[in-house]
Amino acid sequence: MSFFWAKLMWLILNPANLLFGMMAIGVICLWLGAAGFGRKLITLSLAVTVLLMVFPVGTWLVRTLEDRFDRGPLPEQVAGVIVLGGSSQTDLARDRGVTALNGSVERLLGFVRLARKYPDALLVFTGGSGNPFNQKHKEADAAGPLLVELGVTKARLILERESRNTHENAVLTRKLLGAKAKGVWVLVTSARHMPRAMGAFRQAGWDVVAYPVDYQTKREGSWVTFQSPLRALGLLNHALHEWLGLAWYRLKGRTHDIFPGPNH
């Protein structure tokens, strides 16, 4: 049940949804005669949006996440490589009968790169459906054929298709592999997601090395800038999703630390 409620709470707490909701309520108030309150809500929502465009709060928060794990030197040999789902749009792909990827496609590209670097390692894609209202379309079912098309040997590829979130990625993949999960593994996911992923996998008993991809921010940036509302809210959305996720995972005992790092 926590999976469903976590998704529902994020739908409510999503900053873009909150700002849109404030504006919508403000417009309704104008029509219902509460013009003063309506104008205040509309003004507040617009003011917050402008501030986020000028002061890159989302960029700062995402950068802190992305800087947590560097892509350092990799071991000469590893037991396997794991890539987390989140790069495919399964509903769209099934409807159109095509491959449909999103902005996190670099996860798959990094996975293919490591498959070539470690020709003897096991290769695991873990990802089912994160949609609480549709568990039929599994991301692993779409990713498997695509990875083979990109050059991954089918005999080396293991697909875990039941996990719905990062915690289940770690737990269900370890259960699927059994004794094969021993040894050092390379974990591939978006850089902003790496702290929560590393914490969850360590908690589940994995010995993992981080391989962050899909960076969204530069190492340094200005304190004042001008971004489009779409980018400003998009980065803030990514940031809050991860920071709230880290707090939730610590509260639920899914990680040892609120902000897992390279040495803990």
Tens of pLDDT, residue by residue over 121-147, are 999 999 988 776 777 788 999 899 999
Q: Which is it for the CA torsion 157, 167, 127, 135, positive or negative?
A: positive
Q: Would you kindly state where each structural domain of the chain is located, as residue ranges?
A: 2-65+226-245, 72-214
- What is the model's pLDDT at position 97? 81
Strands 207-213 and 184-190: parallel
- What is the model's pLDDT at position 126? 97
Count of residues in the chain: 264
Q: Encode pLDDT of 74-119 as tens digits.
A: 999 999 999 999 988 888 878 888 888 888 999 999 999 999 999 9
- What is the model's pLDDT at position 101? 87
Q: Give the whole-angstrom CA distance, residue 160 versus residue 169.
A: 8
One DSSP character per residue, 121-170 reads SEEEEE-----TT--SS-HHHHHHHHHHHTT--GGGEEEE----SHHHHH
Q: Encode pLDDT of 21-71 as tens digits.
A: 999 999 999 999 899 999 999 999 999 999 999 999 999 999 999 999 999
Please state the pTM of the whole predicted model.
0.92
SS3 88: strand
CATH of domain 72-214: 3.40.50.620
Q: Give the whole-angstrom CA distance, residue 84 versus residue 191.
A: 12
SS3 208: strand
Helix (H) or strand (E) holding 212: strand 207-213
The radius of gyration of the chain from alpha carbons, rounded to an integer in Å, stands at 20
Q: Give the whole-angstrom CA distance, residue 255 versus residue 261.
A: 11
- Residue identified by tokens 């013009």 is 35
